Chains A and B, each alone.
Chain A
Amino acid sequence: MKNISIIIPFSKGSINIPSVVSWVNNALHNINAYTSSPIDNFEIIFITNNPDYTTLQDIEVFPEHAPVKVYVEKEKIGISGLIAKGVSRSKYEFIGIIDGYAGYPSYDIEKIITAITKDSDVIAAFKTNPKDFPKHASNQPEFSNITNRFLFNLRRDPQAGALFFTRNVWKTIKFLPSESEFSLEFLIRAQEAGFRLRKYIIYKKGIPSQLASKFSFKNALKAARDVLAMKMKEIPPIHIPASGTNSMVNAGFRSKKNKYITHTTLSPRQSALGVLGLRQFIIFSILLESVAIGFVLSPILFVQVVIALLSTVYLIDVLFNLYLVLKTVRHSSELTFTPLELESLHEDRLPIYTILCPLYKEAHMLPQFLSGIEKLQWPKNKLDVILLLEEDDVASVAVFEKMDLPEYLNIVIVPHSLPKTKPKACNYGLAFAKGHYTVIFDAEDIPDPIQLKKAYLGFKRSKRNVVCLQAKLSYYNINQNLLTRFFTIEYSLWFGMTLSGLQSLNTTIPLGGTSNHFRTMDLKKLFAWDPFNVTEDADLGIRLFKLGYQTAMLDSVTLEEGNSDIRNWIRQRSRWIKGYMQTYLVHTRDSWSFVRERGIHALLFHLIIGGKIAFIFINPILWTVTLVYFTMYARFGPFIDTFYPQAVLYIAITSLIFGNYLYLFCHIMGSVKNKQWGLIKYTYLIPVYWILISIAGSIALYQLIVKPFYWEKTIHGLHLKENESVTGIREPNQRKQNIPDELTLFKPTP
């Protein structure tokens, strides 16, 4: 059953009304004549705030029984306002807006209605010969090309005079149109909201061109101003409510021409859906312009200033990292427990613990994962393990359906929707969590068997504002190759010292990929993870801190698979760096309020996240310049010298020498702290790893611009391809690679 409301706004001097009325009348007559008509019911609403006798007489051509209504608005509102009023007074599912000026062939309305029900939500009629239609400034062909195509990427003419859409579109994108622009803004918003738009070509010739209003510069300027204002206007994403009152399932929003089901009610402003906020965009533009102007006005001075600034940022970052490391050398602030404390826990008093494990095309990792879960010292009847499979991962679903899985393990199929990311799957899984506590483990993880008990005790011991406990991460295939060694060295520093140091400062902690423990209730209050952020964990860590909560480090290790393939590693790392960039941009959208609320910690955030990103890009510059300087002095030395006056030279050299040395030292200390003594000798080669990080950083930056929330999937289980072990874990060098040994290695010293 298809019903349509046709709204025809008009004002005094709408001299084409007879033509429109005639067209609509004919069209509707045809509808009644053919039983195959796509329309069952219709209504025609004429609306004006300035009626004249002639026009009203024209409307009377409709038969008496025809459902025609005429509204006269007393308020002085423009055409856009009239349309909005008309729509609000209409009642049918489909809505057509017909400009009082235009003329259309009667048969088109049928076709449009058919199309709108089939494969589109909005149809904008498109004229064949613009000269046949009345003109005003914004439908000058050149102007509309510029505005539509370049400003809005909209290849439809919004001023064609006919617009058809479903009521759902109107309800969803509810907005207050500006005085002079309705169609353009409506189409932009509909497009942003992810509705399907189509153009429809009308071949009928319209009214004589002499009736067209004259082009005036004033009109053009006004239209241009409106269009620009519209461009500057931030079109907020449109919320899609959750399906239940106590759940966030099926919640999401429409934005960027898509419909996203995120399973969280996290505000889009707190999400990485948009890369740059408007304010950030303006600041960034000003910065870019300043760079360009500086470069043009005084290139040498400009480069000198840039080098000095970059070097200073780099050095500050290094010194901060050193401070964290030295702080941790003496006093680690991790939560540690004695064996007695752990043994004294009464199993019958333990609550249900939920483990979320998102998998995507990783069925081969399941035996290892199950083995790890089986070893967890937590009563199995109080374990709620949720394996999150994606709807389109048919192969994995098939494998799991055939398997005889333990009772505590549940499979949840995450329905297909955008964005297709791990945090979205986790958000969905969270709705099914029965536990008082929730933790995330990846499929390739082997958690410390007593980690859940430690986390349970950790929450008991910590203040109420500690809402997350982060276990340390390391690898079980440390010695597989040089890359896994580097990776371990880096993780040892990050989880062993840096995060612990951050905790001791009671500052923000970017969470690691897995083994984040939460009270389920708190996690829901925090709106769980941002599905658009590809390091959703880091983002969540910052978000919870901004809300006044804390994260504590847990002295427990989860072993993961260190990426052993360089291309796979670059994919993974570029995603992480991109995620850090997203996190940095999300949490600097309102820098002032961050500073106001969290004081010095806001600046530390810049060092923790911003500094890490800065290092990736500054380091190769410093290295390259140094290498070129010393190896090709005769050719480039004097040229480089011009950019390094004495003061800048000192800053740059200090940054390079002390910076790299201190980073090296910090990495060594990470290995020392984790008692991975054998790795220290490899630390001297870590600059090679930094080069790889910088390569991944460049890819990340590119991806941030072109596909910001694309999830570069990391292939897991590469270690399994080399050789087998009884446990299903393959270790290339069996020396000290046996899993239980590794776990013992990280046990707290009594």
Chain B
Amino acid sequence: MKIQNITRHLKRFNEHYLVLSSFLISIGSFIYFFQNGHMNLSNYDVVARLNASRKVIDSITPGLGQLGGVWLPFPQVLMLPFIWNNYLWYSGLAGYFISGVAFIVAAVFLQKTTYFITKSLKISLLIWVLFISNINVLLLQSMAMSEMFFMSCLILVCYYLTQWTKTHDLFHFLLTAFFVMLLTLTRYEGYFVLLAAFIVILIESLRSFRDEGKDKIEGMLLLFLTVAGFGIILWSIYSALFYKDPLFWLHSYSTTSVSNVPAGKISREDIHGNLHPSLIESLGIYGAVVFATNGFITVGLGLMGMLLYFNSFLKKTVSREKILMFMPVTIISILVFVLLIIGYYIGFIPHIEFPPVLLKGAKIRDWSIYADSNVRYGMVLLPCILLFIAFAASLSKRLLYFAALLIGLQLCLSIVNPKLLQYPFVSSWKYSINNADARWFSTHYDGGLVLISSSRHEDFIFQSGLPYKDFIYEGTREYWRDSLNDPSKYANFIVYNTRISGDNITTDVTPKGSEILKKKFHLVYNNKGFEIYKLN
């Protein structure tokens, strides 16, 4: 057997081994979280996303319009083949199938990207270990969240974009654009990635194709935009079709983080409440979140890698090829980070509470009971951080060993106490599947439709155990509109919650509707303002 063949076999073996290991870790962690109090459902948004997908097939007005106009729909669309099954819905497995596969793809391609850039199996495996051992990554991959899928696509973008800058292969170029398109259908941060990738392509085109005329540069950029921008166009068409407003998401985006909220202008105050973070404060908040969620050692090493990259770039201490290979990751991470800070400052990004571990007397708005869940936004740049660590480790053996040592230390400390070097979501996400109100309702429900504001009660609906088609909510068009005016028209029950803000029934019910509610319904349940009415 030729040496080349042996190498190829080994490489293939490595890939298979990585896929298998990533798969086992994914399954194992899901089972762990699921067995330990259904931690895979421990976030309100997880339930809301599972419900958003379920509503497409299980609603009195089923259809794609149920995906909602605020959250980008792709992860929910991917759940559709599984969500019809009650067990897969209630257990969160429908979401895990997507996030789990995304995790495996992310882990494998992160190793491949690192290997492609550094040509070092050791470094690539080190980065892989760092990724698969991150407790927050493992939790996110067990949940029906968009972050894992986003990270996976981001890694694929980095992988193919880096390959393209080296090979100029059209296929790599198209795959880059394709995964950017998926990003733009997964999370709004994807729009920033689109801009960053566009800039990378512009720079690389100007550098490499200048001699071939401006037509080629123009053509490359147009081709990229045609593919990568299709996600945004598709989302606009969807919004125009179902919400009669191509920019519905922009007009409706709010901290509610759920679908079916009515359109309206949202101000910075609406997003950040009484807190008015300046640009520097925004940087501080977001920076802290990035450090806390990804782990201090990880981010510290990544930051070091970035500084070393700039140093190498300015002082030309490493080969031009290496600098160029890291160019896409550098541009993407810096640009996306900066845009996230600006986005946070202007209110484009929902409010993030300081993680309690960092919190020393910081103000927490009382209305934002779930804002803590937004700390996960800090995770989206993890792939870029890891690639910077790879850069640092690739500069010298000493740096490699230094990084390995720190990573080892982080792993050991994590085993002792995960909270020491990181802010693990598992310890702070408060959402529990034991909703007392839902439990009461599931035992006292005796048929008929239930009028409810789903924007604040996805957990109630989820835990009531009733099919979604038993509920009249904001996305049920004429059922909802008519019920606000006459709740007795369709509903037997009304969930009326004054305990929290954002219950659209309490705010939108018409005076006539309110009158009918009082006359034709009677209170059957009250838990600190969480009221359930039943038709007389």
Contact = CB atoms under 8 A, between A and B. Distances in A.
A677 B237 CA distance: 28
Interface stretch (B213-221, B365-373, B430-438, B472-480): B213-221
A677 B215 contact: yes
Contacts of A665: 226-227
Given A650-B64, A653-B241, A681 B222 contact: yes
8 contacts: A330-B171, A630-B240, A657-B234, A671-B219, A677-B218, A678-B218, A680-B219, A681-B218
B64 A677 contact: no
Contacts of A646: 62-63
A664 interface: yes
Contacts of B64: 650
Nearest to A681: B222
A661 interface: yes
A329 B170 contact: yes
Contacts of A329: 170-171, 174
| Most-contacted residue by chain A among B62, B63, B219, B241 (CB, 10 A) | B219
Nearest to A629: B241
B171 A680 contact: no
B223 interface: yes
Contacts of B220: 677
A677 B218 CA distance: 7
A680 B237 contact: no
B234 A680 contact: no
Interface residues of B, number: 22
B115 interface: no
Given A646-B63, A680-B219, A664 B171 contact: no
B230 interface: yes
A169 interface: no
A618 interface: no
Given A646-B63, A672-B170, A680-B223, A661 B241 contact: no
Contacts of B216: 675, 677
A54 B268 CA distance: 120
Interface string B319-354: 000000000000000000000000000000000000
Contact of A657 (B170, B227, B237): B237
A672 B219 contact: yes
B174 A677 contact: no
Nearest to B244: A633
Contacts of A97: none
B223 A668 contact: yes
Nearest to B217: A677
Given A653-B241, A680-B223, 14 more contacts: A329-B170, A329-B171, A330-B171, A650-B64, A657-B234, A657-B237, A661-B230, A665-B226, A672-B170, A672-B219, A675-B216, A677-B213, A677-B220, A681-B218
Contacts of B174: 329
A57 B188 CA distance: 109
Nearest to B169: A330
A681 B226 CA distance: 10
Nearest to B220: A677
Contacts of B230: 661
Interface residues of A, number: 18
B204 to A, nearest CB: 15
Interface string B233-265: 110010011000000000000000000000000
Interface string A639-666: 0000000100010010001000100110
Contacts of B237: 657
> Residue among A650, A668, A672, A677 with the most chain B CB within 10 A?
A677
A665 B222 CA distance: 11
Nearest to A675: B216
B59 to A, nearest CB: 12
Contacts of A668: 222-223, 226
Contacts of B218: 677-678, 680-681
Contacts of A677: 213, 215-216, 218-220
Can you list the 9 inter-chain pairs with the closest CB atoms, starting with the nearest?
A: A677-B219, A678-B215, A677-B215, A680-B219, A677-B216, A680-B222, A330-B171, A646-B63, A329-B171
A329 B223 CA distance: 14
A681 to B, nearest CB: 6
Most buried by B among A329, A330, A630, A680: A680
Contacts of A657: 234, 237
A665 B223 CA distance: 8
A322 B259 CA distance: 33
B179 to A, nearest CB: 15
Contacts of B233: 661
Contacts of A672: 170, 219, 223
Contacts of B63: 646
A664 B230 CA distance: 11
Nearest to B63: A646
A657 B230 CA distance: 10
A305 B221 CA distance: 41
A392 to B, nearest CB: 46
Contact of B219 (A630, A650, A678): A678
A603 B213 CA distance: 43
A214 to B, nearest CB: 73
A151 B161 CA distance: 69
Interface string A235-263: 00000000000000000000000000000
Contacts of A681: 218-219, 222
B476 to A, nearest CB: 14
Nearest to A678: B215
B86 to A, nearest CB: 23
Nearest to A649: B63
Interface in B404-450: none
B261 to A, nearest CB: 23
B223 to A, nearest CB: 6
Contacts of A678: 215, 218-219
A680 B220 CA distance: 9
A675 B234 CA distance: 28
